[in-house]
Structure 1
Amino acid sequence: MDTQFFLSMDPPTVTYQEKRAGVRNGKPFFYEDGDLKAARQKLKAHLSKHRPKKPYRGGVRLVVKWCFPRGKHRDGEYRITKPDTDNLQKLLKDCMTAVGFWTDDALVASEIVEKFWAERPGIFVRIEEL
């Protein structure tokens, strides 16, 4: 079973790495600010429409193409500015786990991630069983 879809949206640029830290009763704790919470909700809402009938239970390859609004850049030009692909992927995979794409994102044994400037912004996702 392979899955492929395109999430038509302006991809979030806030990343999982941007969690906040605080101290309560002398103990540190971590929390998500409003922007990170909103990005998580946005991704989960879009992803839930493409959730497979059964979650993946074996190894998968995850192919993701992040397509950001192109502005002054050429359509299809690689984006070589922040956010970093690894930080984008962490939030995406956590959201995919939460909505039921797989039992654990540790099943992702292979990843191909690219980010572009694009006329049509969004996130292309392909999941291939290994």
Structure 2
Amino acid sequence: MQFFIPMQPPTTTHNAKQLHAFMRGGKPCAVLHDSPELKATRAKLHAYLAPYAPPTPCSGPVRLLVKWLFPTDGRHNDGEWRTTKPDTDNLEKALKDEMTRLHFWRDDAFVCSEVIEKFWADTPGIFIKVVEL
């Protein structure tokens, strides 16, 4: 399966967490929670991915190809590699989490091969290809 989602790709990554510190039984504790920005990113990805969710999840190994296409900014040309943040591995976490929630596969551990690229593009969006291996 492959599809293109025309959208402004989110730049908030799974690293956008908030630390909540508290005392439990007289000892300091801390818990990380998703920031409001990360929650909004997850909701946006979920809404855009939902129409492409397969009727049944992949049940074996999967190759995931993702091309993140960020809007050109006047300094970069269409198709030029994007070498600025966010990092591809950080972009990928929220995307794979939402694809797991939408049952593209039973668990993201099934993603055994990944090709992740990011470019500047005149038409921004996310190209996704899922191949059962």
TM-score normalized with structure 2 length: 0.94
Residues 1:99 and 2:83 are matched in the alignment: no
Q: Which structure has the greater CA radius of gyration? A: 2
Quote the Cα distance in structure 1 between the aligned partners of 2:121 and 2:61.
30
Aligned ranges for residues 1-130 of structure 1 at < 5 Å? Answer: 3-25=1-23, 26-72=28-74, 73-130=76-133
SS in 2 for 1:16: coil
Give 2:87's aligned amino acid: D
Identity among equivalent positions (%) equals 52
Aligned length: 128
* Contact kept in structure 1, 2:16 and 2:37, CA below 8 Å: no
Q: Cα deviations across residues 8-62 of structure 1 (Å, max 9, x unaligned)?
A: 1000000001212121223111111111110000000000010011101100000
- Extract unaligned runs of 5+ from structure 2: none
Q: CA deviation at 1:93?
A: 0.2
Q: CA deviation at 1:66?
A: 0.1
Quote the Cα distance in structure 2 between the aligned partners of 1:33 and 1:92.
16
* Contact kept in structure 1, 2:67 and 2:116, CA below 8 Å: yes
Q: Cα deviations across residues 42-96 of structure 1 (Å, max 9, x unaligned)?
A: 0000000100111011000000000001111100100000000000001100010
Runs of 4+ in 1 over 6 A off after TM superposition: none
- Extract unaligned runs of 5+ from structure 1: none
Quote the Cα distance in structure 1 between the aligned partners of 2:132 and 2:50.
20
TM-score normalized with structure 1 length: 0.96
